[in-house]
Structure 1
Amino acid sequence: MSAENFLNAETDTFGGIIKGDNKFKVPLYQRDYSWNKTHWNDLWLDIETNRKQGTKHYMGSIVLVSKHKKEYDIIDGQQRLTTLTILVLAVVDTLNDLVRQEIDIENNEKRIALLIADFIGKKSLSSLNYENKIELNESNNPFFSTYLTNFRKPVNIKSAIKSNKLLYDCFNHYKELVKEEVFQKDNVSSLISFVEYISDSLLFIQITATDDLSAYLIFETLNDRGLDLSVTDLLKNYLFSIVAESDKSHVKNIWDVSINHVSYSGFPRFLRHYWMMQNGLIPEKELFKTVKRHINTPKSAFELLNSMSEISEIYSALSDPNHQLWEGQDRVRKHIRELNLFNVTQCYPLLINAYLYLDQEDWIGTLRICSVISFRYMIISGLNPNALEAKYNDACKAINSGTAKNARDIFSILSSLYVSDEDFERVFESKSIRTKRSAKLARYVIYSIENHLSIHDFDYEHDSGSLEHILPENPSDSWNEFFPKDIEENFIYRLGNFTLLESDKNRIIGNKSFDEKCSVYNTSRYELSNRFGYQRWDQNNLNSRQRYLAKQAKSVWSLPYVANTL
């Protein structure tokens, strides 16, 4: 392919691109409009700073595919081109306000007509609506063309989808800025000067390719050169570039299933974990190139898309204990809540394979293995989580190969990650959890031990009890005898200083003396308080109590496979 046939690149202004008879379309597979107030303000600041300095401003590159004569698909650049169009619409509507106020009606109507013809589109003779120069995707274009380019106010903007709300908010945001910072003292010439700057001084490198695959190659090259494109953008554009035009609508539907489950921002992690399920550990920076090397035909693209759409629901459910997939499965929900609390995702590929290929009890057993290992290894021992992924991947591969057939087999592979009882107990004895930052985690730990000691099964998130600091967070001077001011901070958040108390009782005792607290502890329904048993609270007794809690914790976070494996 010659360079001439491959692409054409030139520097052009926004006006040079958008004026004339050219039409631009956002392909159906491109994501919805997503710029927000931060992006709008950044663009406004760039424009106003350079406009006042009399300098041009470089807006980056845009990638187009020539479809028909004067018709182009926007592969990269839709957010910028759309936002600039909305900015011009804000100027036009400011002129509309003047017409409504009967100010220089004839001239302002002429200005409006010229601006719309140059930047927005022309009116259809049949519908009298504007045929826009830019056609957005199927989610945004009906709203954009019905309301924004026809200057109509939606009846109920709250019912609009998020991206359409962003379009409308962008218009209102810029309308306000134009009126406050550009259009001063009813000076119409300031508006015209502003639009002329946008038209003639905002520069793009316009790269026009002859087909989707060529455009994708350009898109990927720009990413290699430092353009901030996610794996999501790259893979989506690549897959659409290798399937037939007639299949693209179907591809989009399958793609959207995965995105709806895992979210646009969550897709890169999902893709990496999905790939690791079947192909082994892969560095994040190698992910896209590896996928591209294996997925190179329309058939393989559809196989990937169909498989991802199926797995994505399971993947999404792993981060949602209330997902309908876990309805009636209390043990599953419990362990998923724990993994979410610990912020653990390294085990997701293993968990999906266990869900797919092991029986129900071994799947739940694998969940518990991951939860207990995470708690001992990360939460209490504070060890480096990076080591977890390789071992989890070994277990994942063992399921694929058939060498791991049950939860016991999984644990035998992961056993080196299981912190020994001796080490776990030793670290637990001095562990602190700062409740101001990690209140939910502290509640989880103390409630888990409480449930182990009592006949109850309290839910740490929903039970009405409160986490009581025996040595208060803001102790009075009466506590200084045993906890001097200069060291009291070291003891307030120790696990041995926590107990559970009914919320109303906790409010009553507040920062009162230890003796007053003890009389209330004795009336509590919680075993940790009711059986408190200390006559005074000093450093030695706090340490003693925490040693006791550590022994209980050793049993709470234990696994039945350990004795036969370690």
Structure 2
Amino acid sequence: MPLVAPNKARLVTLQDILGATFRVPAFQRLYAWGMPQWESLINDLIETQAISKPLFLGMCVLSNTGDEYEVIDGQQRLTTLAILLSALQDTSIVRRFDDGRSELFIIPQEPDGVWLKKLFNREQVGIPSRYSQKLLYDAHMFFEQRGDCVTAEHIKKSQMILYCSEDLQGGTSLFERVNMRGREVANIDLVKNRLFDWSSKITNACIRSALEGEIKDRFQAIFRNLNPFSDEGEVDPDSFLRNHWILFDPEYTKTTDFSNMVQEVDDFLRKRTLDYRNDEIKFFNEISNSVRDYIHSLEEVSILWRKVTAPRHNIIDYQPLQDALVSFNRLRREANFLPILIAALKQWGERPDTVTFVKLVEIVCFREVLVHSQSNKSRTAKWSIAKRIFRKDLKLRDAVHELFWEACPWWDMEEVKRLDPQSAQTTTPEYLASSAFDDPSAYDRFYRVIHYFFWEYGKWLFKAAEWPETRQDVSVQTNDQWDATFRKLEVEHIFPRNPQDADDKLVKDRIKEMRPYLNHWGNLTLLTKRDNASLQNSNFRAKLEAVLEDNSALLFNKLLRNKDYRGNLLRHAWSPNNCRKRTEYMREFANTRWGSAALRQFELEQRVETDAGD
């Protein structure tokens, strides 16, 4: 006898359903619950156990496929309950057969299904390779620590309503209306469900079945592409969905409202099928063609999006391109530039010209950070360029010129006078990127890119002819070092904000002098967490000794003992003069990396007329 008949609902306990098999379809998202949802579940179970009441878990929407049930809504809850019971060493979640086989009552998508089964059987699982597996493992560890607060008996008394839909479309529609617990439903899930809604409009069973199969296959591939490696952190599928839409819809120009992507996709399909409403066959075919166009593009962009956002973990055969994308990602400011980079990879592939273009994007991005340029006009210009690259309407040479002339802030007044003399009269210092190095609040305004800046500074110093003490045969700054140590360094003020000897009259005078320079670029560096904790309020001499002893690999700190670099100390203390002198050397480097000197490779001496083509 089935647990629940088609188009029927039934109130059940977890104990009632442990003998059945629930499978998460491959076209669903993978496990995504985290600490907030785990804590909420265990706290609810503790509270209901204290008053001897079963916990109500809402509705689970299923689709019957013979001997199994496909889970349309409820996979996160059922999987988490199974993990909780496993943590309590309850074996009822694993069905064992006479022939030696065993099967979980809830079977996630592969490869997570096999991995979770090993975890439940206490077999060696190794280090999680994907983020979804890391979440499964972390959930198991969490409940091993907290699970003894509740009994397996009480957990199995938890109640839910099972609803079995007669068809897929009915299940996905109900999913949107009854999702009650856990995370807010992601737009990408709603869009997927809406595509199934559109397929249900096709009354021809063969055409409808073929389209539903295509939607399932494509979303299975998309969710696999979007499942990050375990050390990457969580991926935002809605961000991917928005960036794809910017490229896919040539008419889309909104810069702020992405709240209803379902409506955008709905409108697109409605426009494409409007002229065929009175011809059933053409109407069915146009739905199929339009949905396929969308999901095939979505799958293609999912591959490119992962290459752009996580280049170290994806197969990029051309090493210079991987290096360029890794460098860009260290900025952590990629949101407005993702469409243009995705379009560039799609159109030009893995070749030297693409590397050059990515380097220009990084320069434009960092300049925008320095001038705080986030205008809708600049964003619209970048999106326009991205759309035309995506549609093969813009040559690479023209894309380089348009990106610079339409979206790139000026570096300094010399650059303005050389490239666009007419603008010199109206350009003010706050719109010049190099002026950021005079900003007295650099620590607050540029905190998110300080690590990136010093990383690039260190890379430059190891081969800088001007400073013999920093030259090395091989750079110690590798991608592995960035991940393992560098990005974990802490920002330190060379002259402390709260000096230990603040009661000393000379120090009091220096504090007054240094007040405008405390958060200045010239007063900032990076230290390990240990050194920062022990030295944060020490004087310059103590910091210098510790820095040279323990952080010789940080070349920008090694230079602090060179008086040609920092200037003379005033009574052995760091002063405004030292800040100014050090800042000028930092500005010189910045000019070679992101300034006018860096633009020479792009041949931007004058505007060019753009034309279509590849």
1:525 and 1:181 map into 2 onto residues whose CA distance is 53
- Give 1:59 deviation, angstroms: 1.7
**Residue in structure 2 matched with residue 60 of structure 1 by the alignment:** 58
**Residue in structure 1 matched with residue 74 of structure 2 by the alignment:** 77
**Residue in structure 2 matched with residue 259 of structure 1 by the alignment:** 226
1:144 and 1:368 map into 2 onto residues whose CA distance is 42
Equivalent pair of 1:499/1:529 in contact (CA under 8 Å): no
**Residue in structure 2 matched with residue 275 of structure 1 by the alignment:** 245
Equivalent pair of 1:26/1:78 in contact (CA under 8 Å): yes
Equivalent pair of 2:33/2:182 in contact (CA under 8 Å): no
2:521 to 495, 499, 511: 495
Secondary structure of 1:59's counterpart equals strand
Greater shift, 419-428 or 251-260, is seen at 251-260
Q: Encode CA deviations 1:64-90: one digit per residue, 9 max, x unaligned.
A: 22444x853210012223433555567
Change (3 A) 1:336 1:173: closer
AA partner of residue 76 (structure 2) = Q
Equivalent pair of 2:48/2:55 in contact (CA under 8 Å): yes
TM-score w.r.t. structure 2 length?
A: 0.64
Secondary structure of 1:341's counterpart equals coil
**Residue in structure 1 matched with residue 99 of structure 2 by the alignment:** 127
1:427 is aligned to 2:433? no
Equivalent pair of 2:333/2:365 in contact (CA under 8 Å): no
Q: How many residues align?
A: 508
Q: Encode CA deviations 1:235-268: one digit per residue, 9 max, x unaligned.
A: 4555677454766774465335523579973432
Change (3 A) 1:17 1:351: same
- Give 1:173 deviation, angstroms: 6.2
AA partner of residue 383 (structure 1) = S
Greater shift, 297-306 or 204-213, is seen at 297-306
2:576 to 528, 535, 539: 539
Change (3 A) 1:526 1:213: same
**Residue in structure 1 matched with residue 331 of structure 2 by the alignment:** 341
**Residue in structure 2 matched with residue 443 of structure 1 by the alignment:** 454
- Percent identical among aligned pairs is 20
1:352 and 1:369 map into 2 onto residues whose CA distance is 15
Change (3 A) 1:238 1:53: same
1:350 and 1:433 map into 2 onto residues whose CA distance is 30
2:266 and 2:460 map into 1 onto residues whose CA distance is 49
1:493 and 1:554 map into 2 onto residues whose CA distance is 21
Q: Encode CA deviations 1:318-367: one digit per residue, 9 max, x unaligned.
A: 2345455263427x724641453242231121123233335956534432
1:207 is aligned to 2:163? yes
2:315 and 2:333 map into 1 onto residues whose CA distance is 21
Secondary structure of 2:26's counterpart equals coil
Change (3 A) 1:345 1:460: farther
1:485 is aligned to 2:511? yes
| Unaligned ranges ≥5, structure 1 | 97-115, 184-190, 502-506
Equivalent pair of 1:29/1:240 in contact (CA under 8 Å): no
1:203 and 1:290 map into 2 onto residues whose CA distance is 37
Change (3 A) 1:210 1:533: closer
1:42 to 40, 43, 56: 40
Aligned ranges 1:152-301 → 2 under 5 Å: 153-158=121-126, 180-181=148-149, 194=154, 198-199=156-157, 202-222=158-178, 228-237=184-193, 242=199, 244=210, 250-251=217-218, 254-260=221-227, 265-279=235-249, 280-281=252-253, 283-294=257-268, 297-301=287-291
1:353 and 1:83 map into 2 onto residues whose CA distance is 39
- Give 1:396 deviation, angstroms: 1.6
Equivalent pair of 1:255/1:305 in contact (CA under 8 Å): no
2:375 and 2:235 map into 1 onto residues whose CA distance is 22
1:511 to 513, 537, 540: 540
Change (3 A) 1:55 1:482: closer
Q: Encode CA deviations 1:401-441: one digit per residue, 9 max, x unaligned.
A: 66642345543355353333233233322353479976523
AA partner of residue 285 (structure 1) = S
Change (3 A) 1:251 1:534: closer
Equivalent pair of 2:494/2:524 in contact (CA under 8 Å): yes
2:14 and 2:542 map into 1 onto residues whose CA distance is 75
Equivalent pair of 1:444/1:460 in contact (CA under 8 Å): no
- Give 1:228 deviation, angstroms: 1.0
Equivalent pair of 1:365/1:407 in contact (CA under 8 Å): no
Greater shift, 54-63 or 355-364, is seen at 355-364
1:123 and 1:474 map into 2 onto residues whose CA distance is 66
Aligned ranges 1:141-160 → 2 under 5 Å: 141-142=113-114, 148=120, 153-158=121-126
| Unaligned ranges ≥5, structure 2 | 200-208, 270-285, 414-428, 528-533, 550-556, 609-614
AA partner of residue 156 (structure 1) = Q
Equivalent pair of 2:219/2:299 in contact (CA under 8 Å): no
**Residue in structure 1 matched with residue 13 of structure 2 by the alignment:** 14
- Give 1:374 deviation, angstroms: 1.7
Equivalent pair of 1:321/1:334 in contact (CA under 8 Å): no
AA partner of residue 63 (structure 1) = V
- Give 1:156 deviation, angstroms: 1.5
AA partner of residue 169 (structure 2) = L
**Residue in structure 2 matched with residue 366 of structure 1 by the alignment:** 357
Equivalent pair of 2:405/2:607 in contact (CA under 8 Å): yes
Secondary structure of 1:376's counterpart equals helix
Change (3 A) 1:316 1:292: same
1:343 and 1:22 map into 2 onto residues whose CA distance is 47
Change (3 A) 1:470 1:84: closer
Equivalent pair of 1:496/1:543 in contact (CA under 8 Å): yes
Secondary structure of 1:29's counterpart equals coil
Change (3 A) 1:397 1:481: same
- Give 1:54 deviation, angstroms: 4.3
Change (3 A) 1:297 1:480: farther
Equivalent pair of 1:430/1:546 in contact (CA under 8 Å): no
**Residue in structure 2 matched with residue 417 of structure 1 by the alignment:** 407
Secondary structure of 1:63's counterpart equals strand
1:392 is aligned to 2:382? yes
1:327 to 314, 318, 321: 318
